[in-house]
Every structure is written in structure tokens, then in C-alpha cells.
Amino acid sequence: MKAMVCTKYGPLEVLQLKEVEKPSPGDDEVLVNVHASSVNYNTLGRVSGKPFLARLVGAGLLKPKHQILGNDIAGQVEAVGGNVQQFRPGDEVFGDLAECGLGAFAEYVSVPEDALALKPANLTFAEAAAVPEAAVVALQGLRDKGQIKAGQKVLICGASGGIGTFAVQIAKSFGAEVTGVCGTRNLDMVRSIGADHVIDYTKEDFTKNGRCYDLILATAGYRSIFDYRRALNPSGIYVATGGSMSGPKAMAQIYQALLLGPWISMTGKKKLCMLTLRINQKDLVFMKELLEAGKVKPVIDRRFPLAEAAEALRYYGGGHARGKVVITVEPNHKTWPIGGKVCQ
């Protein structure tokens, strides 16, 4: 099978399209014919080997531990292991492989069944591949850390990006009044996905305009944690899911939320924290239901074929993607028996 392989750390050019052995599923695994994947921030670090700390905590000290990168997938089940209960050949699935070995930038991948859920029936494979990581980060940031409630005033900083476009729609589905912060060219798009108000960060500083929010979700950009605290209502919650992609302030937003958040939270009623994504099948199914109900629709900026995965990552790494960047994989068509479980 074809796969985009990364055998050493370096610039995006180290990614190479190669012919590699097709995996076969273990007893507890599902073999998926990948139709699409999408690009996430962790993949950039897994190619560059930065920050170095990531190498010490499992990415691979001298070279990438996982040579086939990519964590979001949407595709069709080709075969299942003997112990697999939830899926059968022909099922259309999607999932996040970040905690089970990656491997999405390939024609096939073998994964534990719990990493997958049935694909939302109303979505194309490309749309479904845009969902897993970004939407679940947005969901967990708003619902779990942010304790979002109907009627609350919620601000999404980075509303036009991969996580932000899901966050705006998910917050609306919970009945919140949503303000989206983004750049000038994306104001209309953020309004079109449901934001009640939009703020252009190039023209207005939302932390200094006197308005306050019950919940702020910051997906990107950089502001001091004290600015965010100023923009919160007296018992408001600030959740950082990410931070600036590059420049001197890269990662500062994340470290401030992680290290200072708990201390600042102890000094009053406002809560400030960092989200750590917890990948789980239940939240994928939660998103499937929201998507099938038409309450959320993935926003896709550009699609790149598998052979141009490096270009896709370069474009995303610019930090101004409008929604998600998707990688499409040429599907291998097959006819499936109707009913019954087939083991291959």
C-alpha cells in the first residue's frame, strides 16, 4: 500500500510517499481502508521533532517512533479480527488514532475497535475526517472544562480555525450566545456558522472593550492569561485548548494556562485552565449525533491528495486555515456481503 512515511526528524520535505507492507488486523483490531484524513497540530511536531520535550515523552528520541503519521481518519472497514464486536466489513467509520499508533496518512491502517465510531451518515469521508480531533477538543473544552450552559455568553478565540469552527457550532447547539474572534477575511464565514457576534482581532482587542463573558475558549493566538481573566464575568471560566503556532510567543498561552491557571483560580471565583484532550469513543458518538442532527457541519478549507501531505501541513502550519485541512486518499473499492461478519 501507499503511505506517507517519516523516517527522521526534519523539515516537511522528510515526508516521503512510499510503498509499504499493508497491515493485517490483530484479533482485537479493525483494518480500515482510509479514504481521508485531516491535519492537526501534533503532526507538525512529530515531523520536526519539536518541542524536544515531546521526544522524551514518547514521540521517539532520535527518530519518530511512528513512521506513518496522521491521527484523524475516515474510511471503510475492510476486515476485522476475531474478537471485534462492533464493526464488520463494509462499515463506514471515523476516528482519532493519536493514542493507538497513528498511521492515518496511508491507504490502510489497523486500529483497535474502540478508536472508531460509525461515520455520520450525512457526511462525506472528507467531511468526517475533519471531525475527530478538532471537534472533540472543542466539545471537551466547552462542555467538560467550560461547563457550558444555555444562555451563557461564550467567546471563542480562534473561531475560524479547525477547532474554532467546531467550537462556535457546538456552543450554539448548547444554547449559548456566541462571540467569535477571528481575522478580517473570516468574519462572514464565522457569522455564517452561527456566531451571534464577531470580533476582528486585527481591529479590536476583546479583552479591553469592557464586555465580559461566562466562558472563553481560546484555541489559538496569544493573549496573556491576565487579559483573559479581565474579560471573564465574576464566576467565568477560561479554557485554553491551544496557542500561537509560531513566533516568540509560541506555546506561551498554553504554558500560562497550564502553570499559572491553577494558582490564579485559587485567588477568586474565576477559573482558568488548560484542556488536555481525552480521546474516547463516547465523544465521537456524541459528535456523530450532533452532525447527523445538522447542528454542526465541518468547515473544510482545502483538500490535498495523500502525495501532497507535506503541502497540506505547510498550509495548515501558516496558522490561518479556514476550518480544517483535509488529506484525501484514493479509495480501494470493494463489494461487501450483506449481513454477517466476515473475517479476512
Binding-residue pattern over the window 309 to 338 for ligand NAP, x denoting contact by CB under 6 A: ----------xxx-----------------
* Residues 138, 144: Cα–Cα separation, whole Å: 10
Interface segment toward ligand NAP; rule CB under 6 A; list 1-9, 120-128, 158-166, 331-339? 158-166
DSSP 70-129: --EEEEEEEEE-TT--S--TT-EEEEE-TTTT---SBSEEEEEGGGEEEPPTTS-HHHHH
Supply the minimum distance, in Å, between the C-beta of residue 135 and ligand NAP: 11
User: Closest separation between CB of residue 159 and ligand NAP, Å?
Assistant: 7
Q: Supply the angle between the helices 132-139 and 162-173 in degrees, to the nearest 10.
A: 50
- Taking alpha carbons only, the member of 157, 237, 244 closest to residue 168 is 157
Which residues ranging from 274 to 293 are in contact with ligand NAP (CB under 6 A)? 275-277
- Using the rule CB under 6 A, give the single segment among 64-72, 156-164, 227-235, 264-272 that binds ligand NAP: 156-164
Determine the Cα–Cα distance for residues 335 and 33; give it in Å rounded to an integer. 13
Q: Which helix (H) or strand (E) holds 162?
A: helix 162-173
Which listed range, 23-31, 49-57, 208-216, 272-280, lies at the site for ligand NAP (CB under 6 A)?
Answer: 272-280
Q: Are 72 and 93 within 8 A, CB to CB?
A: no
Q: Which stretch binds ligand NAP (CB under 6 A): 86-94, 227-235, 257-265, 269-277?
A: 269-277
Burial (CB < 10 A; 0-12, 13-18, 19+), residue 124, is middle
> Which 170-229 positions form the footprint of ligand NAP (CB under 6 A)?
181-183, 186, 201, 219-221
Q: Give the C-alpha separation, 95 to 73, whole Å.
A: 5
Window 224-263: contact mask with ligand NAP (x via CB under 6 A) = -----------------xxx--------------------
The residues of the shown chain that bind ligand NAP, judged by CB under 6 A, are 41, 133-134, 137, 157-158, 160-164, 181-183, 186, 201, 219-221, 241-243, 275-277, 319-321
